[in-house]
Amino acid sequence: MENIEKIFEFATTVGKLKEEFRFKASKDIKGDTVAAHTWRMSLLIVIVAQELKLDIDILYATKIALVHDLPEAVTGDLDAYLVFKDKNLKTDKNNNEKEAMREIKNELPKDIGDEIYNLWKDYSKQNSLEARFVYSMDKVEGIWSYLEFQKNDFDNNDLVATYHNPGYKLFPDLKPVLDYVKKHIKKEFKKRNIEWKKEYDDYK
């Protein structure tokens, strides 16, 4: 019974992600929540992995996806736009999330807490093939959501055009998806009369 109680205390903590909004630093935009992002990203991971016939452990990748943003239940979401403007924030973000995950881990029965912490650690370090795939898909879902929600001018054209680029270096097999997303971004630039720089076509 004690373990069940701990599991539901954990559920209450991470349930805060249903109300934690993303894109909070962006102007004129009401983004989705962290929980909504995690749900769609996890669904895309299963579907894309099957469509591209990727040689990965889909269940393990899905588990990573489900826990990858758990620390934000404690720390809140830090907008990528702010990190892009101030690189020092990334170090602070990493340290805060590590401490938050220790707190979350300790809420759970030890074996479950250790598993969830190790899944998150794999994601943050991108040690496994699955973690690199999930990290890449996180970028894909993130920029896709931004384009859906941002109806006005972008906050930073360079960030929007290149946000999903790290996915190619980490997981080259995802290129068909990355190419499609880049094509869509390019179309949005044209719609807004924004210059598409030649370097945007590269995955650097």
For residue 184, pLDDT beyond 90: yes
Q: Which amino acid is at 104?
A: I
**What distance in Å separates the CA atoms of residue 10 and residue 121, rounded to the nearest whole number?**
18
**What distance in Å separates the CA atoms of residue 151 and residue 149, rounded to the nearest whole number?**
6
Positive or negative: CA dihedral 165, 167, 171, 177: negative
The model's pTM: 0.95
Nearest Cα neighbor of 162 from 146, 131, 139 is 139
For residue 1, pLDDT beyond 90: no
What confidence category does residue 194 fall into, taking pLDDT thresholds of 50, 70 and 90? very high
Burial class (CB in 10 A: 0-12, 13-18, 19+), 62: middle
% residues pLDDT > 70 (the chain): 100
What is the chain's mean pLDDT, rounded? 94
**Domain 2-201 belongs to what topology?**
Hypothetical protein af1432 (1.10.3210)
- Tokens read off for 20: 């934690």
Cα R_g (the chain), whole angstroms: 17
172, 199 in Cβ contact below 8 A? no
Least confident of 23-32, 66-75, 154-163: 23-32
Q: What H or E segment, with its residue span, contains residue 83?
A: helix 80-85
How is 130-188 classified by DSSP, letter by letter?
Answer: HHHHHHHHHHHHHHHHHHHH--S--S-HHHHHHTTTHHHHH-GGGHHHHHHHHHHHHHH
146, 122 in Cβ contact below 8 A? no
Which pLDDT score is estimated for 72?
97
**pLDDT tens, position by position, 102-159:** 999 999 999 999 999 999 999 999 999 999 999 999 999 999 999 999 888 898 999 9
For residue 12, pLDDT beyond 90: yes
**What distance in Å separates the CA atoms of residue 100 and residue 70, rounded to the nearest whole number?**
8
Which pLDDT score is estimated for 155?
84
Helix or strand or coil: residue 33? strand
**What distance in Å separates the CA atoms of residue 180 and residue 199, rounded to the nearest whole number?**
17
- Tokens read off for 118: 């190790």
**What distance in Å separates the CA atoms of residue 91 and residue 42, rounded to the nearest whole number?**
26
